[in-house]
Amino acid sequence: MKKFYLLVAVVALLGSLLTGCGSNGSGESDLKEIKIATQSPLSGGSATLGEAIKLGAELNLDEHQAEFKKLGFKLTLASYDDQGDPKKGVSNAQTLGADKSVVALVGHLNSGVAIPSSRVYEQYGLAMVSPANTAVEVTERGLKTVNRIVARDDLQGPAGAKYAINELSAKKIFIIQDKTAYGSGLADAFKGAAEKAGAQVVGFEGITVGEKDFNGVLNLVANEKPDALFFAGLYSEGGLIIKQAREKGIDIPILGADGMDSSTLVEIAGDAVKNTYITSVAGDASASKKGTAFAENYKKKFGKDVESFSVYGYDSMGVILDGLKKAIKANDGKLPTRDKIAAAIRATKDYEGALTQVSFDSKGDNENAKVFIYKFSEAEYPADLVSEVKK
């Protein structure tokens, strides 16, 4: 019996010694938690791209756990579903702002959600790096916490218009937009550039997100007999518009933008997607060695192929972690305030991501952002890259 109690005492002593070893930062209980959030639609009509953002960000965070552990911190991902709804996004933003352990976030997909939500982030000093928002207003408000790594609609819209006119010989163009902040802003930018280049806009109509039957607006398109149709909106409505247009015999080139850059567009439209062109602020991850490695790691971890914004979620998280690390070092190894973290992120210059190079200007726009133009020659995703436009 004495031997038994002696053994118990030895085990207890060893346990306390092992626990004590954690005091040098190697023990999980001694690590200070840092939360990085994501906000994107994880349910609803745009969940394919919203999930891609979240998964890309998650992969990057996981890859940096060991590095931050050495600094004495444990990284935690806090994922929020904004449902593509501005009200839900703002509600989530209030929750994130109140949680002091959250120091920054990757988001959003929809500009219409990002614009009101980012006002809340600014109030709390919470840095946001967007992997997808293109509306000009996002960074034109002078907010210190708002940044994006992709191009704006005042580059994307004109790029699409010029391609339609110069490469597709479109002289008469019909425009449909989904009346969201994203769709309206993009449609206006496209329209202005098209008219400036000498094309005639023969129709400018709006649809509602969630609609399924587009016969009414497509009848207007058929009556005007345009050379090209441009849709400013997301793949959920865009795929149906393409499919229903082809069923009506509208066999002209159909153009869209980054909101249609998704494998689900092909699933919805099927073979009708042929002769569709999209401008996108998202490049092909396989275009670089680092991007190819990212895509392989993404598939291995999640069992899914990358979507257009997967790598942008990854690189947005990379920008945040790079700025966070610099802010910690500048603060003698201690966790800085949100304001200091936001300032470090805004100061990002020449960050090399898996696909993107990021240097923020004074507004939080990426000086190296590009627009890519793709063509669907077959019902396959991704489409073929046909052109590239720099800022």
More confident of the two residues 27 and 147 = 147
Give CA–CA dist 312/149, Å, rounded: 8
Give CA–CA dist 44/82, Å, rounded: 10
What pLDDT score was predicted for residue 28? 67
Contact 98, 92 (CB under 8 A): no
The model's confidence at residue 73, banded by pLDDT at 50, 70 and 90, is very high
Give CA–CA dist 367/360, Å, rounded: 6
Contact 368, 388 (CB under 8 A): no
Per the structure block, which two tokens stand in for 13? Answer: 């002593």
Contact 391, 363 (CB under 8 A): no
Give the residue among 265, 193, 277 at the shortest CA–CA distance from 236: 265
What pLDDT score was predicted for residue 27? 59
Q: Which 3 state secondary structure label does DSSP give 336?
A: coil
Give the residue among 244, 206, 200 at the shortest CA–CA distance from 225: 200
Going from the C-alpha of 246 to that of each of 161, 209, 229, 271, 279, the distances in angstroms are 22, 21, 12, 10, 20
Q: Which 3 state secondary structure label does DSSP give 80?
A: strand
Give CA–CA dist 339/33, Å, rounded: 18
Q: Please provide the DSSP assignment of 249-291 as one string.
A: T--S-EEE-GGG-SHHHHHHHGGGGTTEEEEES---GGGSHHH
pTM of the model: 0.88
pLDDT at 351 over 70: yes
Give CA–CA dist 132/117, Å, rounded: 15
Mean pLDDT of the chain: 93
Indicate the Cα dihedral angle 353, 292, 297, 43, nearest 10°: 80
pLDDT at 98 over 60: yes
What pLDDT score was predicted for residue 165? 98
The region of weakest confidence among 18-27, 208-217, 218-227 is 18-27
* Alpha-carbon dihedral sign for residues 101, 105, 111, 115: positive
Burial per residue of 202-239, b for 16 or more beta-carbon CB atoms within 10 angstroms, e otherwise: bbebbbebeeeebeebbeebeeeebbbbbbbbbbbbbb
What pLDDT score was predicted for residue 54? 98
Instruction: Look at the block and give the residue holding tokens 């016969």.
Output: 215
* Alpha-carbon dihedral sign for residues 261, 308, 348, 351: negative
Q: What is the pLDDT of residues 113-135, one digit of tens each?
A: 999 999 999 999 999 999 999 99
Contact 291, 285 (CB under 8 A): yes
pLDDT at 20 over 50: no
Mean pLDDT within 171-195: 97
Q: Could you give the angle at which helices 310-330 and 338-346 cross, rounded to 10 degrees?
A: 120
What pLDDT score was predicted for residue 153? 95
What pLDDT score was predicted for residue 12? 46
pLDDT at 6 over 70: no
The model's confidence at residue 151, banded by pLDDT at 50, 70 and 90, is very high
More confident of the two residues 22 and 308 = 308
pLDDT at 29 over 80: no
Per the structure block, which two tokens stand in for 229? Answer: 């149709």
What pLDDT score was predicted for residue 242? 98
The model's confidence at residue 157, banded by pLDDT at 50, 70 and 90, is very high
- The strand ranges marked E within the chain are 32-40, 73-81, 102-107, 127-130, 146-148, 172-177, 200-206, 228-232, 254-256, 276-280, 351-352, 357-358, 370-376, 384-390
